[in-house]
Chain A
Amino acid sequence: MHIVVCIKQVPDSAQIRVHPVTNTIMRQGVPTIINPYDLFALEAALELRDQFGGEVTVLTMGPPSAEDSLRKALTFGADRAVLLTDRFFAGADTLATTYALATAIRKISTEFGAPDLVFTGKQTIDGDTAQVGPGIAKRLGLLQLTYVARISALDLQARTIDAERRSEGGVQLLRTRLPCLVTMLEATNQIRRGAMADALRAARAEIVKWSAQDAGVEDISKCGLRGSPTIVKRVFAPAARSEKATLIEAGEQPAEALIDAIFKRQPALEPELAALARGY
């Protein structure tokens, strides 16, 4: 069995700082990590490989420094890492990103064997769109299972996969056919620590590096900024509310003072809260 896991190197967004004067992102020195949601996808793939045999290939598109994340994925036990890096890919929106990744997965198919499964995280923490997984599936003509909480069965002979998919009001148990794309839900597993042998192997491993041409991109105008139907016209900090918060002095009875301030501002709240409080 061959599984491709798409990961993304992202800034550790908890540490992003905005310049107070220019309102621009201060990228210098911001540490990068593997998108945390992707680790659930990677672990799910590694577990299937351990159970059924085969190989896990991790794929990312990004600057040359994204190699760090691929090497990290190898320490967890991935078998192969592919870095798609080219200035033509820069500035891609989700549609252009899925074009590049789908092209690379086709190339992976011919070089290393057709994948039975492609995994992604449910979304990234920097873009938050959750569109790249479904986009890759559509471009490759794969069936898709999104927001998967658990893969309950995999039958490589019958070429079927059963999975529990989170929907708004419950969980759907779905059966579909391989090859298929799965986006894993968070907190569904715990990424392994990785064996010492994998760490040693990862340090020396050759990362497969492909430019757009290497990956077999036929139409460069579908990549990066040029291939993106959406354009970012404006980036800005939200306007401060004209009126600042009314600050209550934390005097002798701060709780009572705060409650008085709340009900003074919204008198209708008091009877409503009393009714709500009675209701529990």
Chain B
Amino acid sequence: MGTAPKTAAPAAGRAATKKELPEHFKAYKHVWVFIEQERGQVHPVSWELMGAGRKLADKLKVDLAAVVIGPEGEATQSAAAESFCYGADLVYMVADNLLADYRNESYTKALTDVVNAYKPEILLLGATTLGRDLAGSVATTLLTGLTADCTELDVDADGSLAATRPTFGGSLLCTIYTLNYRPQMATVRPRVMSMPDRVARPVGRIVSHPLGLVEDDIVTKVLSFLPDRDSAKSNLAYADVVVAGGLGLGSPENFQLVRQLATVLGAEYGCSRPLVQKGWVTSDRQIGQTGKTIRPKLYIAAGISGAIQHRVGVEGADLIVAINTDRNAPIFDFAHVGIVTDAIRLLPALTAAFRARLSPHSRDRIAS
């Protein structure tokens, strides 16, 4: 390595598709997950990533570390303690009251400093508004690769992170590597990875790192925070039952048929991307790669053809039921149960039939 001519090292970017990790990156070891904490709450995506990170760490035979950043006190301590219950071998913690609110400047400094000090080979973050704001800044500061919105994470034979994500607007999948830079960074959307079981474990080793800032160093100030009143915004991703509609509904008025079925089932409703682009439904209801990823026990897709962009958002559902007039629609390739018929006609009948079946008075009929 020392004899390599100057022009050959470090081999940059995609021109070099073979792994020639520069010497100074060889110290980068272990898998890290950024634990996203906002206003005292850990975002569930962090625990989902701990599940994925544990598998990567076991395969690489390295440690899994959680990075907990937040204000001093109970919430941050408890996030650190919980990290051990979700599989952490150790926790890196930056606790400072300047970190009470998320701000790009202070969080970027905290995370970048910990990475530079303790050198992970893989760093995973949730693809939330906070995670994407932070990941882009940290990756650019470190001048390393960042693969956004991955749907699958694995390590290949030589230990490289293989990060798979939809590409070309969700019509194909691609596997992306960061061969010659460290850390290898990836973000994953909420609900893409399954929630691992929580196992009660004692608090392990916590490595504290200073923030090294005073308030005057941080230009951006938080003037106020208005919590969402409509909690449904976040419920769609975590709902047990979801009913969604697509272009097959024909007109915006027909979308109420989806909402009516959802109401009878106590479900959340959603839609495919074209309905958002047409302005029929608001974007917080979009299901798919660019919208919410869902993992319900039951998913009913009405008039949705099932492009990959949609498929990757619903594949984690236990039972996918598809209603579509086109027998050859791709949705029937990944649905469990399907019916080839017009959703506009079937939905009202389905709503009525579910209502009858699920009402307490129908028990006798089921028993007989």
Closest Cβ of chain B to A37, distance in Å, is 10
Binary per-residue interface labels of chain B (346-368) against chain A in the complex, 1 for a CB within 8 Å, 0 otherwise: 10011011110111100000100
Q: Is the CB of B168 within 8 A of A276?
A: no
In chain A, what residue has the closest Cβ to B102? Answer: A167
A157 within 8 A of B: no
B178 within 8 A of A: yes
A209 to B70, CA, bound (A): 46
Q: Is the CB of B15 within 8 A of A225?
A: yes
B77 within 8 A of A: no
Q: Is the CB of A276 within 8 A of B267?
A: yes
A162 within 8 A of B: yes
In chain B, what residue has the closest Cβ to A170? Answer: B227
Partner of A91, one of B14, B148, B162, B174: B14
- A-B contacts, 13 of them at CB < 8 A, read A128-B289, A135-B136, A138-B141, A143-B104, A167-B102, A169-B41, A171-B228, A174-B223, A238-B308, A244-B332, A255-B349, A276-B265, A277-B266
Taking CB atoms, residues of chain A closer than 8 Å to B318 are: 266
Taking CB atoms, residues of chain B closer than 8 Å to A206 are: none
Q: Which of A9-17, A55-63, A69-77, A210-218 lies at the interface? A: A9-17
Taking CB atoms, residues of chain A closer than 8 Å to B355 are: 277
Known: A143-B220, A168-B130, A247-B332. A229 touches B180 (CB 8 A): yes
Q: Which of B79-87, B207-215, B336-344 lies at the interface? A: B336-344
**Chain B 271-285 interface residues, beta-carbon cutoff 8 Å to A:** 273-274, 277, 282-283
Binary per-residue interface labels of chain A (82-124) against chain B in the complex, 1 for a CB within 8 Å, 0 otherwise: 0000000001011110100000000000000000000000010
Interface size in chain A (residues, C-beta < 8 A) = 96
A186 within 8 A of B: yes
A257 to B354, CA, bound (A): 11
Taking CB atoms, residues of chain A closer than 8 Å to B241 are: 273, 276
Taking CB atoms, residues of chain B closer than 8 Å to A162 are: 223
B3 within 8 A of A: no
Q: Is the CB of A237 within 8 A of B173?
A: yes
Contacts A174-B223, A254-B339, A280-B263 aside, 17 further interface pairs with beta carbons under 8 A come to: A13-B168, A16-B171, A93-B14, A125-B290, A130-B148, A133-B136, A135-B139, A138-B141, A169-B39, A170-B226, A187-B282, A230-B14, A232-B175, A247-B332, A254-B346, A273-B265, A277-B264
Which 9 pairs from chain A and chain B are nearest by CB?
A13-B169, A134-B136, A276-B266, A229-B145, A245-B338, A230-B145, A255-B349, A129-B148, A138-B140
Q: Is the CB of A231 within 8 A of B169?
A: no
In chain A, what residue has the closest Cβ to B312? Answer: A238
In chain B, what residue has the closest Cβ to A250? Answer: B341
Closest Cβ of chain B to A32, distance in Å, is 12
A104 to B340, CA, bound (A): 53
A207 within 8 A of B: no
B326 within 8 A of A: no
Partner of B222, one of A96, A174, A262, A279: A174
B118 within 8 A of A: no
Binary per-residue interface labels of chain B (313-340) against chain A in the complex, 1 for a CB within 8 Å, 0 otherwise: 0000011111100010001111111111
- A interface: dominant SS: mixed
Known: A131-B146, A230-B178, A233-B176. A269 touches B223 (CB 8 A): no
Q: Is the CB of B145 within 8 A of A95?
A: yes
Q: Is the CB of B174 within 8 A of A232?
A: yes
Closest Cβ of chain B to A273, distance in Å, is 6
Q: Is the CB of B130 within 8 A of A167?
A: yes
Q: Is the CB of B132 within 8 A of A130?
A: yes
Taking CB atoms, residues of chain A closer than 8 Å to B17 are: 231, 233
Known: A226-B14, A262-B337, A266-B298. A146 touches B176 (CB 8 A): no
Taking CB atoms, residues of chain A closer than 8 Å to B274 are: 14
In chain B, what residue has the closest Cβ to A228? Answer: B13
A31 to B139, CA, bound (A): 33
Taking CB atoms, residues of chain A closer than 8 Å to B148 are: 94, 127-131
Interface size in chain B (residues, C-beta < 8 A) = 110
Q: Is the CB of A236 within 8 A of B13?
A: no
A177 within 8 A of B: yes
Q: Is the CB of B311 within 8 A of A238?
A: yes
Binary per-residue interface labels of chain B (218-258) against chain A in the complex, 1 for a CB within 8 Å, 0 otherwise: 01111111111000001000001100000000000000000
Most buried by A among B223, B290, B311: B223
Binary per-residue interface labels of chain B (154-198) against chain A in the complex, 1 for a CB within 8 Å, 0 otherwise: 000000001000111111111111111100000000000000000
B95 within 8 A of A: no
Known: A128-B290, A168-B129, A277-B264. A236 touches B172 (CB 8 A): yes
Known: A167-B130, A266-B298, A273-B298. A279 touches B266 (CB 8 A): yes
Q: Is the CB of B13 within 8 A of A169?
A: no
Known: A95-B140, A131-B135, A146-B133. A170 touches B14 (CB 8 A): no
A269 to B41, CA, bound (A): 30
A145 to B220, CA, bound (A): 9
B113 within 8 A of A: no
Closest Cβ of chain A to B155, distance in Å, is 13
Known: A14-B277, A167-B102. A246 touches B336 (CB 8 A): yes
Q: Is the CB of A265 within 8 A of B352?
A: no
Closest Cβ of chain B to A222, distance in Å, is 8
Taking CB atoms, residues of chain B closer than 8 Å to A231 are: 13-14, 17, 176-179
Most buried by B among A168, A240, A259, A261: A168
